[in-house]
Amino acid sequence: MDTIFGEIELLRDDMVASLGRICAIPAISPHNGGDGEEAKAKEIEKLISELGLGAVEWQRVSDAKSPTGNRPSLFLEVKGTLPRRLCILSHMDIVPEGDRSFWSLDPYKPVTRGSRLYGRGVSDNGMAIISSLYALYALKKLNITPTYTVCLVFLSDEELGSSFGVKPLLERGLFREDDLVIAPDSGNDRGYFIEIAEKSMLRMEFTVTGKQAHAAHPNTGLNACRAANLFSVELDEALHMAFQEKDTLFDPPVSTFEPTRRFANVPNMNTIPGKERFGFDCRVLPSVPLKDVLAVVERVKDEVSRRSGAVIEMEVKGDNAAPPTSEDSDVSRLLLSSIKKVLNVKPVFGGIGGGTFAAFFRRKGIPAVVWQQEPEGTAHQPDEYTEIEYIVNNAKVFAAMMSEN
């Protein structure tokens, strides 16, 4: 194993250069104002061919909003001693850069500063693409056949829910029940956290309708802003009151109910808004059925509607939590022993707020783990960065998983 780790050390600068190269191509969903993943996928295919790792298979999912009419995902499979596959899944898409004035650099011109590489998507999730590719490349350079058949998958559309990514690809039967699945898309700085469970997700968008009026004559209208404020506060309190269960597998160990988005209403101060839209993002412990949460929402909605006279409509997107992956599953154990070979940590299994694609596999009965060593709190933020050391360490862990004996 030391030979492999030594080889990966030598590839440090190449990995940083390649990560910068692919992150220079934004891959924002066409549903979020971008051009999609096509250009980035082509660049990754080019890199794979330069590294001599073999031919990739393109899987495309139709998407009328995409300039190409579809969203691509790439599969690279390299035969191992065993037919059983180790699948490492990363996503190519990124979230938009947001307000540029918060960035101290160009999000799409990745640069190194000290021990870090900065740029949109370097941590979420470009690092995983590069670390998994170079783990395979190191084995190839050393003429080592991996123990497991290695399947690297580079996916589209993770950030907006995977409807054009792993979800339909799972339906195409491209994964098997005995696949060892790891999604390196969440973790912490010391690299000890292995995610095996996720909370249920619930996103609710509310439209509160009153009657627009001149601010000098509020009595002639019905202030939707006031009704929305009232509803938001009451709903927040009611949900926190109703669901106080704890589960220490998760951090935080409780269900969370957060008012998040507010949509713009009127562009001027002296108009009473007739319509107000806002949203709640909820991460609910698996022990709490989402229908119980929705029952509370309905009750508060009706109460506030009656008191304020405003009409409240809601749109709900929810996913009940997938069954957790066992700590004793093959992939959990393989990852745990591989981490110990690289990092001086005691790995811990736990749950998170949800939203990785491991859940889709778990629902299909395929155990999946989520892990990588990653800087905490940088994903989706301005000046996103990763520690170069983590790229190297993650590659070592993947190589250890690939060549376990």
Number of residues that bind Zn ion (CB under 5 A): 3
Q: Which class for 39: exposed (0-12), middle (13-18), buried (19 or more C-beta within 10 A)?
A: middle
The distance of closest approach from Cβ of residue 369 to Zn ion in the complex, given in angstroms and rounded to an integer, is 15
Report the amino acid identity of residue 341: K
93 annotated active-site: yes
| Alpha-carbon gap, residue 88 to 5, rounded angstroms | 19
| Alpha-carbon gap, residue 148 to 132, rounded angstroms | 14
Residue-wise burial string across 195-211, b where 16 or more C-beta atoms lie within 10 A, e elsewhere:
bbbbbbbbbbbbbbbbe
Q: Which is nearer to Zn ion, 78 or 368 (CB)?
A: 368
The distance of closest approach from Cβ of residue 191 to Zn ion in the complex, given in angstroms and rounded to an integer, is 17
29 binds Zn ion (CB under 5 A): no
The distance of closest approach from Cβ of residue 90 to Zn ion in the complex, given in angstroms and rounded to an integer, is 8
The distance of closest approach from Cβ of residue 22 to Zn ion in the complex, given in angstroms and rounded to an integer, is 14
Query: Following DSSP, what letter does each residue of 299-315 receive, concatenated?
Result: HHHHHHHHHH--EEEEE
My answer on whether omega of the bond before 125 falls inside 30° of 0, hence cis, is yes
198 binds Zn ion (CB under 5 A): no
Among 38, 93, 185, 384, binds Zn ion (CB under 5 A): 185
Q: Which is nearer to Zn ion, 185 or 276 (CB)?
A: 185
Comparing C-alpha atoms, which of 194, 180, 280 is closest to residue 239?
A: 280
Among 63, 93, 124, 387, binds Zn ion (CB under 5 A): 124
Start-to-end CA distance of the chain, whole Å, equals 10
Among 125, 156, 209, 338, binds Zn ion (CB under 5 A): 125
159 annotated active-site: no
| Alpha-carbon gap, residue 318 to 290, rounded angstroms | 8
Which DSSP letter does residue 199 get?
-
Q: Which is nearer to Zn ion, 276 or 384 (CB)?
A: 384
* DSSP E strands, 294-357: 311-319, 348-352
| Alpha-carbon gap, residue 20 to 89, rounded angstroms | 19
Q: Which is nearer to Zn ion, 60 or 120 (CB)?
A: 120
The distance of closest approach from Cβ of residue 158 to Zn ion in the complex, given in angstroms and rounded to an integer, is 6
Of the residues 97, 124, 158, 198, which is catalytic?
158
Of the residues 38, 63, 93, 387, which is catalytic?
93
Q: Which is nearer to Zn ion, 48 or 128 (CB)?
A: 128
Check residue 118 and give left, alpha or beta (phi > 0: left; psi -120 to 50: alpha): beta
Residues 339-358 that bind Zn ion (CB under 5 A): none
Binding mask 281-300 for Zn ion (x = CB under 5 A): --------------------
The distance of closest approach from Cβ of residue 258 to Zn ion in the complex, given in angstroms and rounded to an integer, is 19
| Alpha-carbon gap, residue 197 to 320, rounded angstroms | 12
Point out which residues bind Zn ion (CB under 5 A): 124-125, 185
Could you list the active site residues? Answer: 93, 158
